[in-house]
């Protein structure tokens, strides 16, 4: 709800309050942001008070009633150069007279139902309205009459998920051009507390690892500069007060609906204020706005929770599912897929594909994804990007025929594309070398042997839309994996459709136009975003593509960290998670088939290994995995996710149904520990008084795990790594312990279940939990209803 009383705007959601005051000097003061409060007429209690000027400061207007005010020590809604606020600022405008100062003062406001009324005009992805959680918008207009500029601060409220979004709009009413050197989407100023900042950082194959730092004094900044939201620093950030746990404590979450260069700054000022800024990165950004033109920033997302970090994650997950992804995919169960990339790389033909498809069907999978290498003359990564014509010689038939063959097996068909790229060695590049991003006369640097297409150029966009439409209409394709395998460098449009200062932003606008057209034309096709894994994992992509390939790294131990980090800001149904071969292709680490599966369950499950070469035992295990996942798919993809525990020895994740009658927990142990006490299974968010049956999912324990110790129980001698061990291993595994309890929700949540003893090197029987390195169990928790 948004109310306005005198000079106060009070925005409330179910659990939070956001209060803005219009000051006598016409600047906007942030009076409060946090847990919902009851305010009658006592807003004065929230305002900053000053009697005398601070030493060595700029005072805004000494004759005014609000004299002695230094804006440097006010929590402001949006702040400006030249006003004496020396913190990091959200806005830098270069005026036609080459000055940088701006003074935007309050002018007027509008409150209306629904999202920002000009959302479509922004040509940017944005939060959607939803009849189950109706949005409401506040537009505050500020004016700088000296330069005839208008700045609108837009706040949209999504009450059920405790989210307020922010964005800014600049309108130039002057006859001269103004140049935006910086314009952030969100500024939030609040009094300083002992905050910890969590950011989610990484590189290829190790995206979104959580890093925490204490905020003491000064600024901390993360950014991306490679043209995408990047794997270096995700735009999602989390601030929590010291001592906040996953379940208890104050937390603020901020994200940006944008897929290009972004920047987030958190500053603790010496006056004891905290400032958060989020928006487009101002490096290489210089955007002219001519007479009567309008510039829209992307939308930033702000949430707050007193229920710890899981509380913020829940808000963000609900927001993404109900207000960001295409509504036709919200709560729609995602198919279990087999992708041929790590099974074959570029080396496949029709018989290999059909072998994978038939085995996939036999194992219970639902969708086959033909990855890179099906087009042009692409048999390695040196050619053909841009030539999106089917290599019929390689496939042995047309795409339509292949898809028909796959569909005949009862399997859906998906295809890989990389539509933003062109290989130097391609027909497209030979015909249109000026469509690639490059600076004329300079040596062009390549990434994975390829160049990026100039999406600022309308001709390029139209060509790509046309050719992909044709392709997708040519066969029954129900899924598209949209890849992007190199960052942008030498940002320059040969067509002159963007100046270097506009380039990165216009590239993103161009990409959104292409995705908008294609996803509109094919609303039932499930698009999965990908950028060498999770290089572009953000809300802008999720607006068009309801899921993203989380990382090229499918190693279970790495995925624990990657999926954990990703889960802070994004729901499980947004993440692709595959079971791949062991040793893993990225780390060479060996993990059990069940651990790989149990970690991949917390996302959209897929397989990405040569399933035509599985042993009898592996086939049986995978069949069982798929049956299990199908039984609980809705819970894994759409249940409420909680990070229950994370210490040096355990990780516990949990998904719970909305009515709290069902939950599944993953207990993961990175390392075996000898002679240790029991693991304790804790749960969260259940009904205290309800009774639950808790049982461990049975996993297969390979006899190889025991090395030559197996001879202590085997009637015949089995040599380690010998032919017999290998032969037995293909057809036989030991069963894991059986473990089952009927317990109350309160017991599970507060006492926890002391699980059976782990293998400690002394002996083994059916009560021993064999938990080596990188081992895991799933516990199914189901309410037992009394008759
Ligand atoms: C990078 C992706 O992340 C992989 O899954 C695969 O599709 C390759 N590109 C193909 O080139």
Give the single-character DSSP code of 160: G
Atom 9 in ligand 1: residue holding the nearest Cα: 532
Residue nearest atom 6 in ligand 1 by C-alpha distance: 341
Tell me the three state secondary structure of residue 322: helix
Nearest atom in ligand 1 to 381's CA: 11
Q: Is 85 in the pocket of ligand 1 (CB under 6 A)?
A: no
Does residue 642 contact residue 653 with C-beta atoms inside 8 Å? yes
Q: Rounded to 5 degrees, what are φ and ψ at 320? A: -60, -45
Region of poorest pLDDT, from 60-69, 137-146, 288-297, 733-742 = 60-69
User: Which of 20-24, 41-45, 58-62 has maximum average pLDDT?
Assistant: 20-24
What's the pLDDT at 427? 98
What's the confidence (pLDDT) of residue 712?
Answer: 82
User: Ligand 1: which of 203, 371, 381, 482 to mutate, most ligand atoms within 8 Å of CB?
Assistant: 371
The β-bridge relationship of strands 287-289 and 178-191 is antiparallel
Tokens of 575: 């993440």
414 C-beta closer than 6 A to ligand 1: no
Q: What is the chain's Cα-based Rg?
A: 28
The DSSP annotation for 620-685 comes to HHHHHHHHHHHHHHHHHHHSEEEEEEE-SS-EEEEEE-TTSSEEEEEEEESS--TT----EE---S
Q: Which residue has the higher pLDDT, 526 or 52?
A: 526
User: 34-71: string of b/e by CB count within 10 Å (b at 16+)?
Assistant: beeeebeeebeebebeeeeeeeeeebbeeeeeebebbb
pLDDT over threshold 60, residue 661: yes
549 lines ligand 1 (CB under 6 A): yes
Could you give the CA distance from residue 42 to residue 44 in angstroms, rounded to a whole number? 5
Q: What is the pLDDT of residue 331?
A: 96
**What per-residue string of b and e applies to 287-318 under the rule 16 or more CB within 10 Å gives b?**
bebeeeeebbbbbbbbbbbbbbbbbbbbbbbb
Q: Is 416 exposed, middle or buried (0-12, 13-18, 19+ CB in 10 A)?
A: buried
Cβ of 768 below 6 Å from ligand 1 = no
DSSP assignments along 78-89, one per residue: S--TTTT--S--
Cis preceding linkage at 194, omega within 30: no
3-state secondary structure 567-615: HCCCCHHHEEEEEECCCCCCCCCCCCHHHHHHHHCCCEEEEECCHHHCC
Residues facing 155 on adjacent strands: 138, 166
Residue 552 beta carbon below 6 angstroms from any ligand 1 atom: yes
CA distance 416 to 528: 9
532 lines ligand 1 (CB under 6 A): yes
Residue 605's contacts (CB-CB under 8 Å, 6 or more residues apart) are 336, 577, 578, 579, 597, 626, 629, 633, 636
What is the pLDDT at residue 68? Answer: 75
Q: Which residues of 359-392 are buried (b: 16+ CB within 10 A; e: fewer)?
A: bbbebebbbbbbbbbbbbbbeebbbbbbbbebbe
Supply 500's token pair.
Answer: 């270097």
388-407 average pLDDT score: 98
Alpha-carbon span 211 to 196, nearest angstrom: 10
| Tokens coding 381 | 């990564």
Question: 174 alpha carbon to ligand 1 midpoint, in Å?
Answer: 49
The secondary element (H helix, E strand) that includes residue 289 is strand 287-289
Q: Do 531 and 228 meet the contact criterion of CB atoms below 8 Å apart?
A: yes
Pair 187, 76: CB distance under 8 Å: yes
Could you read off the pLDDT of 337-355 as tens digits, one per residue? 999 999 999 999 999 999 9
User: Between these two residues, 721 and 481, which has the higher pLDDT value?
Assistant: 481
Residue 725 — pLDDT band, cuts 50, 70, 90? confident
pLDDT band of 15, cuts 50, 70, 90: very high
Give me 648's structure tokens: 């040096």
Distance CA 418, CA 409 (A): 27
Average pLDDT, the chain: 96
Residues annotated as catalytic are 483, 552
Confidence band of 728 (pLDDT split at 50, 70, 90): confident
140-154, 680-694, 714-728: least confidently modelled range: 714-728
62 — pLDDT class (breaks 50, 70, 90): low
Please work out whether the CB of residue 282 comes within 6 Å of at least one atom of ligand 1: no
pLDDT (average), residues 278-287: 98
Question: Is 372 touching ligand 1 by the criterion CB < 6 Å?
Answer: yes
Return the higher-pLDDT residue of 40 and 236. Answer: 236
Give the confidence band of 713 by pLDDT, cuts at 50, 70, 90.
Answer: confident
Atom of ligand 1 nearest to the CA of 531: 3
What kind and span of H or E run contains 158?
strand 149-158
Q: pLDDT tens digit string along 751-783?
A: 999 999 999 888 889 999 999 999 999 999 999
Determine contact, residues 372/382, Cβ cutoff 8 Å.
no
106-159 pLDDT per residue, tens: 999 999 999 999 999 999 999 999 999 999 999 999 999 999 999 999 999 999
Q: Ligand 1 atom closest to Cα of 448?
A: 11
**Under 8 Å CB-to-CB from 702, ≥6 apart: which residues?**
592, 729, 733, 734
346: its two tokens: 């570029």
Choose which residue among 376, 448, 530 to substitute to test ligand 1 binding: the one with the highest number of ligand atoms within 8 A of its C-beta: 530
Ligand 1 within 6 A of CB of 371: yes
> How far does residue 746's CA lie from ligand 1's centre (Å)?
45
Ligand 1 near 483 CB (within 6 A): yes
User: Which pLDDT belongs to residue 12?
Assistant: 98
Query: In the predicted model, what is the mean pLDDT of residues 675-680?
Result: 91
Residue 534's Cβ-count burial label (10 Å; 0-12, 13-18, 19+) is buried
Distance, CA 236 to ligand 1 centroid (Å)? Answer: 24
DSSP state of 65: T
Bridge-based pairing state of the strands 547-549 and 575-580: parallel
Ligand 1 contact, 207 CB (< 6 A)? no
Rounded-to-integer distance, Cα 76 and Cα 31, Å: 9
CA dist list (Å): 136 to 158, 394, 407, 457, 496: 7, 54, 45, 36, 40
Nearest CA to ligand 1 atom 2: 532
For residue 593 and ligand 1, the question of a CB distance below 6 A is answered with no
> In whole angstroms, what is the distance from residue 196 CA to residue 250 CA?
11
**Which residues touch 292 (CB under 8 Å, ≥6 apart)?**
171, 172, 173
List residues bridging with 152 in a β-sheet.
Answer: 141, 169
- Measured in Å, how far apart are the chain's first and last C-alpha atoms? 43
Query: Counting every residue, how long is the chain?
Result: 787
User: Could you give the CA distance from residue 562 to residue 201 in angstroms, rounded to a whole number?
Assistant: 10
How confident is the model over 186-198, as a mean pLDDT?
Answer: 97
- As a whole number of angstroms, the distance between CA 586 and CA 551 comes to 11
What pLDDT, on the 0 to 100 scale, is given for residue 64?
59
Tell which residue, 188, 328, 229, has the closest CA to residue 566: 229
Compute, in angstroms, the gap from residue 371 CA to the centroid of ligand 1: 7
65 pLDDT more than 60: no
Q: Which residue has the tokens 């005398």?
A: 52
Share of residues in the chain with pLDDT > 70 (%):
99
Cα(38) to centroid(ligand 1), Å: 52
Q: Residue 587 — pLDDT band, cuts 50, 70, 90? A: very high
Crossing angle of helices 350-363 and 399-408, in 10° steps, is 30
Model confidence at 249: pLDDT above 90: yes
Residues 525, 526, 530, 534, Cα dihedral to 10°: 160
d(CA 608, CA 509): 33
Joined tokens for residue 286: 């210089």
Percent of the chain with pLDDT over 90: 91
Please give the structure tokens belonging to residue 677. Answer: 């006490």
CA dihedral angle for residue 617, residue 618, residue 620, residue 624, rounded to 10 degrees:
140
Q: SS3 of 462, please?
A: helix
CA 551 to centroid of ligand 1, rounded, Å: 10
Which of the two residues, 716 and 313, has the higher pLDDT score? Answer: 313
By most ligand atoms within 8 Å of CB, the mutation choice from 337, 341, 381 for ligand 1 is: 341
Q: What would the pLDDT profile of 551-564 be if each residue is shown by its tens digit?
A: 999 999 999 999 99
In Å, the largest CA–CA distance within the chain is 99
User: Which structure tokens are listed for 696?
Assistant: 């461990």
CA of 549 relative to ligand 1 center, distance in Å: 9
Residue identified by tokens 């002679």 is 675
Query: Which mutation among 339, 485, 533, 551 tests ligand 1's pocket best, with the greatest number of atoms within 8 A of CB?
Result: 485
Alpha-carbon gap, residue 607 to 408, rounded angstroms:
20
CA 342–ligand 1 middle distance (angstroms): 9
Does 375 sit in the ligand 1 pocket, CB within 6 Å?
no
Among residues 517, 510, 427, the alpha carbon closest in space to that of 469 is found at: 517
Amino acid 63: pLDDT: 65
Average pLDDT value for residue range 501-516: 98
- Grouping H, G, I as helix, E, B as strand and the rest as coil, residue 99 is coil
Q: What is the per-residue pLDDT for 689?
A: 97
Nearest CA to ligand 1 atom 10: 372
At residue 67, the pLDDT reads 66
Q: Is a pLDDT exceeding 70 seen at residue 29? A: yes
Q: Quickly tell me which residue has 């609906």 as its tokens.
A: 257
How remote is the CA of residue 379 from the centroid of ligand 1, in Å? 14
Confidence at residue 66, expressed as pLDDT on a 0 to 100 scale:
57
User: 527 burial class (0-12, 13-18, 19+ CB within 10 angstroms)?
Assistant: buried
* Confidence (pLDDT) at 715: 81
Helix/strand/coil for 529: strand
| Å from CA of 594 to ligand 1 middle | 24
- Check: CB of residue 227 under 8 Å from CB of residue 289: no
Q: Can you tell me which atom of ligand 1 is nearest the CA of 552?
A: 3
**Mutational test site, ligand 1, from 206, 207, 372, max ligand atoms within 8 Å of CB:** 372
């Amino acid at each position: 709800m948004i109310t306005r009383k005198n000079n106060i705007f009070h925005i409330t959601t179910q659990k939070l309050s956001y209060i803005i005051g219009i000051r006598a000097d016409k600047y906007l003061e942030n009076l409060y942001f946090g847990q919902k409060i009851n305010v009658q007429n006592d807003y004065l209690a929230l305002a900053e008070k000053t009697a005398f000027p601070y030493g060595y400061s700029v005072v805004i207007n000494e004759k005014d009633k609000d004299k002695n005010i230094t804006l440097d020590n006010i929590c402001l809604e949006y702040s400006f150069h030249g006003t004496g606020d020396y913190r990091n600022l959200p806005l830098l405008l270069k005026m036609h007279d080459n000055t940088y100062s701006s003074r935007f003062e309050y002018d007027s406001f509008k409150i209306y139902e629904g999202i920002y009324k000009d959302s479509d005009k922004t040509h940017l992805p944005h939060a959607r309205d939803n009849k189950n959680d109706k949005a409401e918008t506040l537009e505050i207009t500020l004016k700088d009459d000296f330069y005839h500029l208008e700045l609108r601060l837009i706040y949209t409220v999504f009450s059920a998920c405790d989210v307020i979004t922010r964005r800014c709009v600049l309108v130039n009413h002057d006859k001269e051009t103004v140049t935006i050197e910086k314009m952030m989407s969100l500024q939030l100023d609040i009094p300083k507390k002992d905050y910890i900042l969590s950011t989610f950082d990484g590189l290829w194959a190790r995206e979104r690892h959580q890093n925490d730092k204490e905020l003491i004094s000064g600024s901390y900044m993360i950014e991306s500069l490679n043209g995408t939201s990047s794997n270096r620093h995700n735009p999602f950030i989390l601030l929590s007060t010291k001592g906040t746990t996953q379940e208890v404590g104050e937390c603020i979450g901020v994200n940006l609906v944008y897929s290009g260069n972004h920047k987030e700054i958190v500053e603790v000022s010496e006056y004891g204020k905290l400032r958060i800024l989020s928006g487009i990165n101002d490096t290489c950004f210089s955007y002219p706005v001519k007479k009567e033109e309008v510039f829209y920033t992307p939308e930033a997302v702000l949430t707050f929770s007193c229920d710890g970090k899981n509380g913020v994650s829940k808000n963000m997950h609900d927001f993404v599912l109900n207000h960001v992804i295409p509504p036709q995919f919200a709560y729609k169960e995602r198919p279990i897929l087999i992708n041929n990339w790590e099974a074959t790389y570029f080396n496949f033909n029709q018989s290999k594909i059909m072998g994978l498809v038939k085995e996939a069907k036999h194992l219970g999978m639902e969708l086959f994804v033909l990855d890179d290498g099906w087009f042009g003359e692409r048999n390695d990564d040196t050619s053909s990007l841009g030539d999106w014509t089917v290599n019929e010689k390689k496939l042995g038939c047309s795409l339509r025929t292949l898809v028909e063959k796959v569909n005949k097996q009862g399997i859906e068909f998906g295809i890989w594309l990389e539509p933003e790229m062109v290989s130097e060695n391609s027909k497209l590049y030979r015909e249109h070398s000026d469509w690639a991003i490059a600076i004329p006369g300079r040596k062009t640097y390549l990434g994975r042997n390829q160049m990026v297409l100039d999406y600022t150029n309308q001709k390029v966009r139209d060509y790509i839309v046309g050719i992909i439409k044709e392709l997708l209409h040519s066969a029954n394709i129900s899924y598209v994996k949209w890849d992007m395998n190199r960052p942008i460098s030498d940002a320059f449009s040969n067509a002159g459709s963007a100046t270097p200062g506009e380039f990165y932003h216009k590239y993103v606008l161009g990409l959104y136009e292409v995705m908008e057209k294609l996803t509109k034309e094919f609303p039932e096709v499930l698009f999965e975003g990908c950028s060498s894994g999770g290089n572009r994992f953000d809300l802008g992509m999720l607006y068009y593509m309801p899921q993203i390939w989380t990382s090229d790294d499918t190693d279970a131990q790495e995925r624990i960290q990657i999926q954990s980090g990703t889960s802070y800001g994004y729901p499980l149904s947004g993440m692709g998670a595959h079971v791949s071969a062991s040793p893993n292709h990225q780390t060479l680490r060996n993990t059990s088939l069940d651990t790989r599966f149990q970690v991949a369950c917390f996302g959209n499950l897929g397989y990405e290994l040569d399933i035509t070469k599985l042993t009898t035992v592996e086939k049986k295990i995978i069949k069982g995995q798929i049956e299990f996942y199908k039984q609980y798919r809705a819970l894994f993809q759409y249940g409420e996710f909680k990070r229950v525990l994370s210490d040096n020895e355990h990780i516990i994740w949990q998904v719970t149904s909305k009515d709290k009658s069902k939950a599944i927990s993953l207990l993961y142990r990175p390392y075996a520990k000898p002679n240790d006490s029991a693991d304790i299974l804790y749960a969260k968010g259940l009904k205290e008084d309800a009774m639950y049956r808790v049982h461990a999912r049975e996993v297969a324990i390979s006899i190889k795990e025991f090395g030559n110790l197996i001879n202590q129980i085997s009637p015949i001698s089995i040599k380690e790594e010998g032919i017999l061990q290998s032969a037995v291993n293909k057809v036989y595994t030991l069963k894991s312990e059986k473990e089952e309890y009927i317990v109350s929700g309160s017991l599970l949540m507060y006492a926890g279940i002391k699980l059976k003893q782990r293998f400690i090197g002394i002996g083994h029987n059916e009560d021993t939990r064999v938990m080596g390195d990188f081992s895991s169990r799933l516990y199914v928790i189901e309410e037992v209803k009394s008759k």
